[in-house]
Structures are given as C-alpha cells and as structure tokens.
Amino acid sequence: MIRLGAVLLSLLLLAAVALKSGHLGAPPQVGPGGAFSLVNSDGQPVNESVLKGKWSVVFFGFTYCPDVCPTTLADLAQAKVRLGPKADKLQVVFISVDPDRDTPAQLKAYLSNDAFPKGTLGLTGTPDQIRSVTSAYKVYYEKSGTGGDYVVNHSSASYLMDPKGRFVRVLPYGLGPSELANQISLAMPG
C-alpha cells in the first residue's frame, strides 16, 4: 500500500510539473532528430529544413569507411528500386562523422558512385557542427588510429524521418534491401 501511494504521489508531482511548464498533453520528443547547421556537397549551408517535404533516411558515416557505409548506401539504392513509385517520395541523407577528411568535394565524389542512391544528399560541417548533429541524433562516433589511415567507429543504424522531419523508426544495419523497402513502405501512407 505504501509503495502504491509513493507511485501515485510521483505521478501527481510529474503532472504538476508538466502543467506548470505548459507541457501537459504535448507529446514528448522521442527518438533522434533536431536542429542542425551543416553544409551540403556543393558547400552551401543547410539546416534541418532539408528533411521537410520528403521522407528521409538519415545515415551517419564517412567516405573512407571500408564496409558499413558502402553496404548501407548500396542496400538503400536497391531498396529504392523495390519501393517503386514510392521511391520518388524518399531521399537519402548521408551525414559525415569525419569532418577532417569529408569535405564537400569529397562527399560529392563519393556519393556519385553508381551503386549508391541517386541524388543522395551529402552533409558535412565543422567538428563542432558534427558533434551537435550527432548529439541530436544520438549517434556514437570516435576516431580510431592516427595518420591519414585512421577509421571512425560509428553507429550503424539509419533513421527514417517523416516529411515533417520527425523521427519514425530506426532502420538497423544489415536488414538488406527487401526488408529496408518493406519497413519504409509500411511507414509511408498509400
């Protein structure tokens, strides 16, 4: 009985705080996402508004990645083919976690690979900008090694965002093109 009373008191206190702060009834922010300020592969400044108007798969990686990044991008290209007409409503956004090497020109050259989704939006920025966007998206990354041959260990999941730029679901690494297409298609209306 005392335990139930403590739980009820805690809930009442949380409700009072929410009411006072004006958040009662407002859905909590869940999942990754948020504001960012980066540059695209043409060197033009962009922000989170690039996620508005289309469904987006947001993936964090780097152009010198030996396995996860090229595999994910190739799988996403094949998934877009499987989406049929829905593919026109989807964009792929590749955000670098290696701002020291991934210049706009390097991103442009890397993303021109025929095996990757056409029109993939490549984004990079300063180390502080990358720390900010990875924090908002809850992405782990860490430089490993020294010299020009270092790697960047990083989270391997992608994020599906709706046309308002809101998080919908995690797309785990290794799903393969068919399951990626299935999960994206199920989230899209129509």
Name all domains of the chain by residue range, CATH numbers in brackets: 1-30 (no CATH), 32-187 (3.40.30.10)
Residues 98-131, buried b or exposed e (16+ Cβ, 10 A)? bbeebbbebbeebbeeeebbeebbbbbbeeebbe
Q: At what angle do helices 68-83 and 177-187 cross, to 10 degrees?
A: 60
CA distance 162 to 186: 12
The pLDDT of residue 2 is 41
pLDDT of residue 28: 47
pLDDT score at 15: 39
Residue among 190, 85, 179, 69 nearest 122 (CA): 69
| Residues contacting 61, CB < 8 A, separation 6+ | 68, 69, 72, 94, 95, 96, 97, 154
- Residues 39, 63, 111, CA angle at the centre, nearest 5°? 70
Per-residue pLDDT, 31: 75
Which stretches of the chain drop beneath a pLDDT of 50?
Answer: 1-28
- Which one, of 158, 134, 133, 149, lies nearest residue 71 by Cα? 158
DSSP-derived 3-state class of residue 24: coil
pTM of the model: 0.83
Looking at residue 77, its amino acid is A
Q: What is the pLDDT of residues 24-75, one digit of tens each?
A: 443 445 679 999 999 999 999 999 999 999 999 999 999 999 999 999 999 9
- Looking at 42-104, which runs of residues are DSSP E strands? 45-47, 55-61, 90-96
d(CA 170, CA 134): 15
Whole-number pLDDT of residue 107: 97
Q: What's the pLDDT at 189?
A: 86
The whole-number pLDDT of residue 30 equals 65
